[in-house]
A and B are shown apart, each in its own frame.
Chain A
Amino acid sequence: MATAHAHDAHGHDDHHHGPEKGIMRWIKTTNHKDLGTLYLVFAFTMFFIGGLMSLVIRAELFQPGLQFVDPEFFNSMTTLHALVMIFGGVMPAFTGLANWMVPMMIGAGDLALPRVNNWGFWILPFAFTMLLSTLFMEGGAPAGGWTMYPPLVLQTGNAFPLLIFAIHLMGISSITGAINVVVTILNMRAPGMTLLKMPLFVWTWLITAYLLIATMPVLAGAVTMLLTDKYFDTSFFTASGGGDPVMFQHIFWFFGHPEVYILILPAFGIVSTIIPTFARKRLFGYDSMVYATASIGFLSFIVWAHHMFTVGMPLAGELFFMFSTMLIAVPTGVKVFNWVATMWKGSMTFETPMLFALAFVFLFTVGGFSGLMLAITPVDFQYHDTYFVVAHFHYVLVPGAVFSILAAVYYWVPKWTGVMYSEFWGKVHFWLSAIFINVTFFPQHFLGLAGMQRRVPDYNVMFSDFNMVSTVGAFAFMAAQFIFIGNMLYCMFAKRSGQVPDRVWEGAHGLEWCVASPAPYHTFEDPPMVGADGEPVKGSHAAAAHH
Chain B
Amino acid sequence: MASHAPAAPNNTRYFVPDPSAWPFMLTAGLALLIVGVWSYLEDKSLGSIPLYVGGLFSAFIIFRWFRGVALESERGAYGKQVDMTYRMAMAWFIFSEVMFFAAFFGALYYARTMSVPWIGGEGAKGVANIQWPGFEASWPTNGPAALGGAFQNMSAWGLPFINTCLLLTSGITITMAHHAIKLGKRTACIAWMWATVALGVVFLYCQVIEYIHAYQELNLTLGSGVYGSTFFMLTGFHGMHVTLGTLMLFVITCRLMKGHFKPESHFGFEGVAWYWHFVDVVWVGLFIFVYIL
Contact = CB atoms under 8 A, between A and B. Distances in A.
A180 B96 CA distance: 13
Contacts of A334: none
B205 interface: no
A345 interface: no
Given A213-B95, A251-B106, A114 B17 contact: yes
A110 B114 CA distance: 48
A159 B28 CA distance: 20
How would you classify the secondary structure of chain A's contact residues: helix, strand, loop or mixed?
A: helix
Contacts of B104: 221, 225
B222 interface: yes
B145 A240 contact: yes
A6 B143 CA distance: 61
Nearest to B132: A239
A381 to B, nearest CB: 17
Interface in A112-137: 112-116, 118-119, 122-123, 126, 130
B179 interface: no
B170 to A, nearest CB: 25
Contacts of B111: 236, 242-244, 247
A126 B42 contact: no
B293 interface: no
Contacts of A31: 16, 19
Contact of B27 (A3, A119, A179): A119
B145 A1 contact: no
User: Chain B interface residue count: which class?
Assistant: 35 or more
A161 B92 CA distance: 28
Interface string A1-25: 1011111100111011000100011
A110 B93 CA distance: 20
B99 A215 contact: yes
A239 B110 contact: no
Given A118-B24, A165-B34, A525-B2, A233 B99 contact: no
A118 B20 contact: yes
Contacts of B101: 221
B64 A112 contact: no
Interface stretch (B187-195, B224-232, B283-291): B224-232
Q: How large is the interface on A (under 10, 10 to 19, 20 to 34, 35 or more residues)?
A: 35 or more
Contact of B115 (A244, A254, A522): A244
Contact of B38 (A161, A220, A244, A522): A161
A17 to B, nearest CB: 12
A224 B38 CA distance: 14
A188 B16 CA distance: 12
A238 B17 CA distance: 49
A214 B98 CA distance: 9
A28 B24 contact: yes
Interface in B191-231: 222-223, 225-230
A165 B37 contact: yes
A405 to B, nearest CB: 25
A240 to B, nearest CB: 4
B91 to A, nearest CB: 9
Interface of B: 1-2, 4-6, 12-14, 16-24, 26-28, 30-31, 34, 37-38, 41-43, 64-65, 67-68, 71-72, 75, 77, 81, 84-85, 88-89, 92-93, 95-97, 99-104, 106-107, 110-111, 114-116, 118-119, 123-125, 128, 131-132, 141-145, 147-148, 222-223, 225-230, 232-233
Closest 9 CB pairs of A and B: A221-B103, A119-B23, A242-B143, A240-B145, A28-B19, A234-B229, A242-B226, A244-B115, A314-B124
6 contacts: A1-B67, A27-B21, A213-B96, A222-B103, A225-B104, A525-B13
